[in-house]
């Protein structure tokens, strides 16, 4: 068991709405990364947080934003949802940014109608 949890597991929203996804890191991990995985595709890197600061961002618009809290749990916020935002959103935690291994959560499946 990885110890990384995500909530909710499934979510349905309509275009234009806002959504917040949550991730609880494995105990002791100070780094969390978020990924978007469209159906049939590999994951795409959204951003990474290290000790509450953004530590790298992929090619996603500003309406994708994040937060990491002092307990290292994390949120992904998406504003003005678009149909193409429908995907599996994965978070992964690691002991530090240079770690070999990331521990992935089960993901949140978001459907935008």
Partner 1 sequence: KNEVEQSPQNLTAQEGEFITINCSYSVGISALHWLQQHPGGGIVSLFMLSSGKKKHGRLIATINIQEKHSSLHITASHPRDSAVYICAVSPNFGNEKLTFGTGTRLTIIP
Q: Does 55 bind partner 1 (CB under 8 A)?
A: yes
C-alpha R_g of the chain: 13
Q: Does 99 bind partner 1 (CB under 8 A)?
A: yes
Q: Does 76 bind partner 1 (CB under 8 A)?
A: no
Q: Does 37 bind partner 1 (CB under 8 A)?
A: yes
Q: Are strands 53-57 and 44-50 parallel, antiparallel or unpaired?
A: antiparallel
Q: How far is CA 19 from the centre of its chain?
A: 12
Instruction: In angstroms, give the least distance from the CB of 54 to partner 1.
Output: 11
Nearer to partner 1, 12 or 80 (CB): 12
**Cβ contact 58:46 at 8 Å:** yes
Q: Does 28 bind partner 1 (CB under 8 A)?
A: no
């Amino acid at each position: 068991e990885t110890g990384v949890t995500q909530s909710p597991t499934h979510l349905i929203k309509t275009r234009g709405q806002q959504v917040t996804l949550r991730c609880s890191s494995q105990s002791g991990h100070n780094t969390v990364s978020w990924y978007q995985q469209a159906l049939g595709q590999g994951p795409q890197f959204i951003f990474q947080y290290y000790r509450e600061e953004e530590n790298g961002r992929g090619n996603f618009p500003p309406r994708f934003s994040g937060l990491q809290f002092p307990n290292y749990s994390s949120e992904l916020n998406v504003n003005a949802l678009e149909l193409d935002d429908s995907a599996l959103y994965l978070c992964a935690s690691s002991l530090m940014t240079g770690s070999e291994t990331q521990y992935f959560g089960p993901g949140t499946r978001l459907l935008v109608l």
